[in-house]
Amino acid sequence: MFEMPSGAEIQSIISILKGGAGFFVPEIYLSALFMVLIILDLVTGRKNARFLAAVTIAGLVGSLYYIFKQQAMPDTEFFFGMYALDRFGIFFKYFFVASGILAVLLTVIDDQLKKHESGMGEYYALLVAMVVGMMMMASSTDLLMMFLAMELVSLSAYAMTGYLKRDPRSSEAALKYLVYGAVSSGMLLYGFSLLYGMTAQTNLTRIAMVLAAHGYDPLVMIMAVLLIMAGLGYKMGAVPFHFWSPDVYEGAPTPVTAYLSVGSKAAGFAMLMRFFFVAVPHGMDMYVSPLHIDWLMILMLVSAASMIYGNVVAIWQKNVKRLLAYSSIAHAGYLLLGIITMDQLGTQSVLVYLASYLLMNYGAFYVVILIANRTGSENLDDYRGLGKKMPLAGAALTVFLISLVGLPPTFGFIGKLMIFSALLSKGSLFMWLALIGILTSVISLYYYMLIPLNMYLRESERPEEGVVETGMGAKLVTATLMILTLYFGLFFQPIANYAKYSSVLFGAFLN
Amino acid sequence: MLSLIVFLPIIAGLIILAVPSSQKQIIRIVSLLAALGQGVLAVLIWRQYDPTMAGIVAASGGSPFGSFQMIEKIPWISLDLGSFGPLNIEYFLGVDGISITMVLLTALISAIGVLSSWTIQKQVKGYFILYNLLATAMMGCFVALDFFLFYVFWELMLLPMYFLIGIWGGPNREYAAIKFFLYTLFGSVFMLLVMIGLYFSVIDPLTGHHTFSLVAMADQANYIKGAILGPDSVTWRYAAFIVLFVGFAIKVPMFPFHTWLPDAHVEAPTPISVILAGVLLKLGTYGMMRINFPLFPEVFQAGMYVIGVFGAINIIYGAFCALAQQDLKKMVAYSSISHMGYVLLGLAAANSEGMLGALYQMFNHGTITAMLFLLVGVIYDRAHSRQIDKFGGLASYMPVYTGFVTVAWFASLGLPGLSGFISEAFVFVGAFREEVTRPIAIVSVLGIVFGAAYLLWSLQRMFLGKRKPDALYDLEVDAHGHEHIHFHDWKGKLDLDARELTMLIPLGIIVIALGIYPMPVMGLLTTSINKLVQVLAPVAMSAVH
């Protein structure tokens, strides 16, 4: 069926690839880091966890330089329209590298992983692979590339989730994650194939052009959108595609939980935004479906359902990791609010919210690990009296939780403020969503405060123990995350301005 | 100056953070110094304050900041929001007649609270850090003139309060603390939406951009037609008024949102009760006067009657509940609800007398209730109980204590010559003058009768007559036939000791002095109140639209 390309054609393909590679340096660099880590693991032997962690962090920090260099480049699409370089993508590149670095920081203090007998070599390699995958998710502009990127993230994530081979909970979590992931990948592909069938294009911009020029059958469109949403919703952990998340979050090693809840969720959002903003813009009035629903309406319902379900079900959780899993479902709902407005302010607010979520969620998980190292469990009851034994960790966790609720003066409040501002800037159109958002955040206060309640208001069963030392490095990281959460709660100008600058997507027209 | 008075406690808090937790005395003294510093600054501000300037709203053609005083205004955050122009948040502080009274009150009560906290023994360091955070947040609320800043301070109060009740409180503290937190947060999240809505609806005439400035928001001319809270958006303006009102009413607390208050008070340690009743409740009515009413005057006009009715319910219902209490602290808590009802009634009258009475009542209620809770704390320290009928005959054994109780109780029930009388009288005069609120005023007068009933009855049961058979103290007769009493495990002085006197004497003097000559406080607020009444009046509004 395929004809052999001629020599000249091959030459031109190679030159296009070579030209594109200049815009692809961070990804290439990180792929090299991935291989370096595997080789280092092979040559350095068993007790190399700390060394590999240091190399990973150094490597990830190094990649920031290449990302920074990209800021001077013009927005462009390369690799035959497979991939874009734009400010939106660069924001997420920074975001995912930061998220990777924090995940390493969480890993080095985790006792469970420290004791892991078969070493940590693959772990760090997988972590870096996932960073590459997530970057590609945020920048792909082609259905095929999107799918590949997403699979790269998923496969790394499955392996990381089940990394504690001897722990049945970890293996169970990995299997559940894999089964759900396989199904939703299938749905995503089905949706893509419908879209391809309608337009005969895989590039997002061209899909949009064909849809606008030739019209489409709204029924097929809504099916395609629903299926794609199922695939992306799985990554974002939004209702009703969330069923995997509580079990996976609880079973996975805690650093992986944190990594999934921030990194892979954000990647899902980045891809969702790029896909919907570019490929199927809202507002093609002439093709309103007979059911009067379009993807925006679906997103609204998903968002409302996530906020309500995540926040309400979290109330009854006794395990902190599970509690944070449900809270992350709720946060997916809040993040969707910013996408629904379909404008630059909304996009900006999503980026700010994600940045705040990065700090506060990693912070919360960091302290959860510190506590689990001491008590060996993540049960709420075991948090009793910890406020006295771990003063800094306790105070920091309280700040992170307050930030997750969205109270000033924390970064989380700024995230919520921006999201609700975006909603209300559309007048009363989205008022009902804003109301659901703020009412559920009151509910969230109740369950988040269960943790400080146990830490401070209740006495431990073993009160004789004195202050627990967590080590200088851990203290430093905790304090830094806490101070940043508070600092950006009061002086959020740089981040918010950078988010505004980054809310430019290649090929999307946002008002 | 205002920045200093706001942030002095938090500076003290940071210093305390560096002090080792075993140095309890140093921690206490640092807090006390901060509180006294606040007091000195408050007096300086009071001396500098020019009572002829009104505040409330930017004067047309005059200074862009209105006639607010001691203004501090620096840009804090400036964001580019694309089509909405820059988002400007300002660090904007200033005082007018409404806020300066509250600043004075807050400084006074904060200092009293530190003294009252001297007996806290559990985790002193954590306690005073939270206490100082709370003091900063309260003061900040009263001087902030930027809605965003106000909101930050407003929410900042919640967490310290939660822990102060939750860690240092009584047996049922977990429930009381989270109830307080949830109730107030429920009220304030709506405020967040209204704040954003207002932002998109108001243009600062100076810059031409949207603004969070409360001064600009108080001028109806600055609202944009067609915006969500613009002048033509009647439904949303009503909705915004109602949710704001509910948010503030929860803090007041107004029936039916009052149920958190008795729980919080009963569980809270004495100093926190003092702060709660003395300052925090005022924030509710202050918010109404500063934000709720002037920003939506036409809705206020329409809803005056309803607010008055709720005020009357508060007065009478609170008094009835107080009458039924066995626990002295719960009785005082309900009396707070009753007395805050007078404030609501005065506000509902919307004339100078009513508003003046309301604001003056806020100040007086702050001082009187602080006294009441301190006195309750005194007896609780000694007897470890507050059951009204477990005492009897205390007057003969604790004469000084009984003396202060009498002053506070009578001030609370509004005896002429004490400060409570004047404010309540003004409230009633104001409410009586308006035809709308006249029937409400007539009904509310009953509240005074019931108030006298529960106060006098408790006074009689606890202090007069003879020792009850099951009283919580032992009676001994010495060789000379003199009777002595002692509480089971109380080692200190039986009657008021020096620390308790230091707290009670200033309050007692203020209560008596302001009852005889109210001008030092009332003089501060008349100009502003008149301006507020003018802003809220229907005439002023029709001039704008």
Residue pLDDT tens, chain A, 511 long: 567 778 888 888 888 888 888 888 999 999 999 999 989 888 887 677 888 889 999 999 999 999 998 888 888 888 888 888 888 999 999 999 999 999 999 998 888 887 777 777 788 999 999 999 999 999 999 999 999 999 999 999 999 998 888 888 888 999 999 999 999 999 999 999 999 998 888 888 888 888 888 877 878 888 888 899 898 999 888 888 888 889 999 989 999 999 999 999 999 999 999 888 888 765 544 445 444 557 788 888 999 999 999 999 999 999 999 999 999 999 999 999 988 888 888 889 999 999 999 999 999 999 999 988 888 888 888 888 888 888 888 899 999 999 999 888 899 999 999 999 888 888 777 888 999 998 999 899 989 998 988 888 887 776 666 777 778 888 999 999 999 999 998 888 888 888 888 888 777 766 5
Query: Which range of residues forms the domain containing residue A380?
Result: 302-511
Could you tell me which residues of chain B have a Cβ less than 8 Å from any Cβ in chain A?
77-84, 87, 123, 151-152, 155-156, 158-159, 162-163, 166-167, 173-174, 177-178, 181-182, 185-186, 189-190, 192-193, 196-197, 199-200, 227-228, 236
> Is residue A124, in this structure, part of any structural domain at all?
no
CA distance, residue A486 to nearest chain B CA (Å): 12
Q: Is the pLDDT of residue B120 over 90?
A: no
Q: What mean pLDDT do residues B270-294 have? A: 91
Cα diameter, chain A: 80
Per-residue confidence (pLDDT) for residue A293, from 0 to 100: 57
Mean pLDDT, range B172-185, rounded to an integer: 89
Query: Which string of b and e fits B132-162 if b means at least 16 CB within 10 Å?
Result: bbbbbbbbbbbbbbbbbbbbbbbbbbbbbbb
Q: Is residue A27 part of a domain?
A: no
Q: What letter represents residue B241's amino acid?
A: F
Which pLDDT band holds residue B69 (cuts at 50, 70, 90)?
Answer: confident
Which residue of chain A is at minimal alpha-carbon distance from B166?
A457
Nearest CA in chain A to B170: A457
What does the pLDDT read at residue B303? 86
Range list of H helices, A261-341:
265-274, 295-314, 320-340
Smallest Cβ distance to A457: which of B82, B167, B189?
B167
Is A457 in contact with B156 (Cβ distance < 8 A)?
A: no
B107 Cα to chain A: minimum distance (Å): 23
If you ran DSSP here, which 8-state letter would residue B122 be given?
A: T
**CA B149/CA B155 separation, integer angstroms:** 10
- pLDDT score, position A287: 46
Average pLDDT on B19-27 reads 85
Closest C-alpha to B444, from B270, B310, B353: B310
Cβ <8 Å between A497 and B79: yes
Residue A271 lies in a domain: no
**What residue type is B530 in one-letter code?**
N
pLDDT at B543: 46
- Cα B264 from Cα B252, distance rounded (Å): 13
Contacts of B194 in chain A (CB under 8 A): none
Least confident range from A317-326, B14-23, B203-212, B233-242: namely: B203-212
Average pLDDT of B464-486? 75
On whether the CB atoms of residues B518 and B420 are closer than 8 A, the answer is: no
DSSP assignment string, A35-70: HHHHHHHHHH-SS-HHHHHHHHHHHHHHHHHHHHHH
Cβ neighbours of B200 in A, within 8 Å: 421, 424-425
A-interface mutation test, from B185, B191, B250, B257, most A Cβ less than 10 A away: B185
Distance CA A128, CA A119 (A): 16
Q: Which of A386, A425, A500 to mutate to probe the B interface, most B CBs <10 Å?
A: A425
Among B148, B196, B234, pick the best mutation site for testing chain A contact (most A Cβ within 10 A).
B196
Considering chain B, what percentage of its residues have pLDDT values greater than 90? 30
Which residue out of A442, A482, A486, A509 would a mutagenesis test of the B interface target, given it has the greatest number of B Cβ atoms within 10 Å?
A: A442
pLDDT at B63: 57
CA dihedral in degrees (B144, B150, B152, B153; nearest 10)?
60
- The residues spanned by each domain of chain B are 2-544
Question: Residue B130's pLDDT is what?
Answer: 92
Q: pLDDT tens digits for B104-115?
A: 999 999 999 998
Residue linked to tokens 């800021």 = A71
Structure tokens at A355: 């940045």
CB of A88 closer than 8 Å to CB of A502:
yes
Residue among A407, A427, A453 whose CB faces B158 most closely: A407
Q: How far is B470 from chain A (nearest CA, A)?
A: 33
- Which 3 state secondary structure label does DSSP give B203? strand
Q: CA-CA distance, B279 to B266, in Å (whole number)? A: 17
A440 occurs within a structural domain? yes
pLDDT average, residue stretch B323-329: 89
B370 pLDDT higher than 50: yes
Q: Which tokens hold the place of A297?
A: 């309406």
Residues on chain A touching B185 (C-beta within 8 angstroms) = 407, 442, 445
Summarize the confidence of residues B198-212 as an average pLDDT: 83
Give the residue from A424, A480, A503, A489 showing the smallest Cα distance to B76: A489
**Mean per-residue pLDDT of chain B:** 86
Q: Do A407 and B185 touch (CB under 8 A)?
A: yes
Tell me the shortest Cα–Cα distance from A228 to chain B, in angstroms.
31
Distances (CA, A) of B41 to A184, B195, B523: 64, 31, 19
Q: Which of A390, A398, A410 is nearest to A474 (CA)?
A: A390
Q: Contact A453/B77, CB-based, under 8 Å?
A: no
Number of domains in chain A: 1
